[in-house]
Amino acid sequence: MNNSTLISTVFRKEVLAMAAYKVANAQGYIKLDAMENPYSWPEEIQNQWLEHLKDCQLNRYPDPEAVQLVNTIRAINQLPEQFDILLGNGSDEIIQLLLMALPQGASVLAPVPGFVMYKQISDCLGLNYISVPVLADGFDLDLPAMLSAIAKAQPLLIFLAYPNNPTSNLFSADAMHQVIKAAPGLVVVDEAYAPFANASFIDQLGQYDNLLIMRTVSKLGLAGLRLGYVMGQPALIEQLNKIRLPYNINCLTQMTADFALVNRAFFTEQTEKICAQRAYVFNELQQMEGILPYPSAANFILFKVPHNKATDIFLAIKQQGVLIKNMAGQGGLLSDCLRVTIGKPDENKAFLSALRHGLAELNL
C-alpha cells in the first residue's frame, strides 16, 4: 500500500478535508493577536503560588472531579446549588465534548462571523454545521433568519458567543431569549469574554432547561493553563461527564487555577486597566482617516480598513514588529477587517503608531 492510499484509507473524509487550526509564530513580536491578558502576576502572588505548587503530587493522578476547583468556580460565579459544573481542558474541549455527544449527522447552528472552533470541530465530526450571518450593520443577531434556520434545520446545538468573537459585540438579549425559546435542543451561551463585558446569561439558567453557560479563564489571564467550564442542569452535565476523559484537568492546572481565582483581586485590577485602554485605543482608531473601529465589550477591537487593503495593512504593521490578526481570509463581513487585542499601554501605542505609519506608507 502506498502512502497516499494508506492516508486515504485510514482517515475519515471529514478529517482529510480539514485544515489544521494555524497559530502564527509570534516570537519577537509585540503580541496582540490572541486576546491574551498582557500582564504577569505581582511578585508576591507569584511567590505564594510557587510555594503552593510544592504540594502538587506529580506521581499521583489528579482529582478526577477537581472538587476544590469546582467549589471555587461555583463560589465566584455565585452559581446556585441546583446547577452543576463540568471542567474542560480549555472551553475548546467543552465545545468538543458537546459536539461529540450529538447524534451522527445532527445539525449545529451559530451566527457568522463567529468563533472558528464551533465549525472546525463540527466539520471534523461530520455534523451539519449551519452559519447564519449576523446583521451587517452592528453585527446583532438576524432574528428572523435565526428563527427560520432553526425551524428548518432543527439544530440540536446552538452556540451564541456573548460577547461574540470576532465582532466583539453583545447580541441583543431579547433576540437571545427568543433563540433559546425556539431551539429544539441545547443553547450554549459562550461567555469567554465575561471579564470585560458586564453582562451574562448565568441568571437565566433557572428559566430554561436547555441553556448552558460556558466560560474560560483564558481571557481573564490564564490562557496557558487551559481551563474552561460549562454550567447548567445536572441532567445535562451528567451526560457530558460520561464522555469527558477522567483526568482531563491536570493537577498543576487544578492547583494554579484555584490559587489564582481565590486571589483574583489582581485580575480585577488588570481587567480594569485593559478596559480603560480599550476606550483609549477605540478613540484613537476612530480619529484615523479611513479606519472604522467597532464598539467592543471584549478585550479586543475589530476595525475596518479601506477596501481590499486589510492584508497590506496587516503586513505593514507586522513589519514594524506588532502582530495583530488579519481577518480578511474569513471573507464576508470581515473581508476588510483586522482585529487587535488590547495590550499594555506601551504596546497599544506601538500598535497605533505602526498602523499610522503603515497607512502613510501605503498612501491611504
Ligand X SMILES: *Cc1c(COP(=O)(O)O)cnc(C)c1O
CA atoms of 158 and 184, how far apart (whole Å): 10
Q: Does 271 sit near ligand X (CB under 6 A)? A: no
Using CB under 6 A, pick the residue from 91, 253, 254, 326 that binds ligand X.
Answer: 91
Which residue's C-beta sits nearest to ligand X? 90
Q: Which stretch binds ligand X (CB under 6 A): 9-17, 64-72, 195-203, 215-223?
A: 215-223
List residues bridging with 109 in a β-sheet: 130, 158
| C-alpha 300 chain-centroid distance | 11
Q: Does 190 sit near ligand X (CB under 6 A)? A: yes
CB of 134 to ligand X, least distance (A): 14
CA atoms of 36 and 341, how far apart (whole Å): 7
Q: What angle do CA 128, 134, 138 make, to 5 degrees?
A: 165
User: Which backbone phi and psi does 143 adopt, to 5 degrees?
Assistant: -60, -50
Q: Does 257 sit near ligand X (CB under 6 A)? A: no
Q: Does 228 sit near ligand X (CB under 6 A)? A: yes
Q: Which stretch binds ligand X (CB under 6 A): 88-96, 127-135, 278-286, 343-351?
A: 88-96
CB of 187 to ligand X, least distance (A): 14
> Residue 134: which of 166, 96, 92 has the closest Cα?
166
CA atoms of 182 and 234, how far apart (whole Å): 22
Q: Scanning the structure block, which residue is given the C-alpha cell 452535565?
A: 237
CB 162 within 8 A of CB 201: yes
Q: What binding mask, one character per residue, do residues 110-149 give for ligand X by CB under 6 A, x or -? A: -----x----------------------------------
Nearer to ligand X, 161 or 352 (CB): 161
Using CB under 6 A, pick the residue from 84, 92, 284, 336 that binds ligand X.
Answer: 92
* Cβ neighbours for 11, distance < 8 A, ≥ 6 positions apart: none
Contacting positions for ligand X (CB under 6 A): 35, 90-92, 115, 161, 165, 190, 192, 216, 218, 223, 228
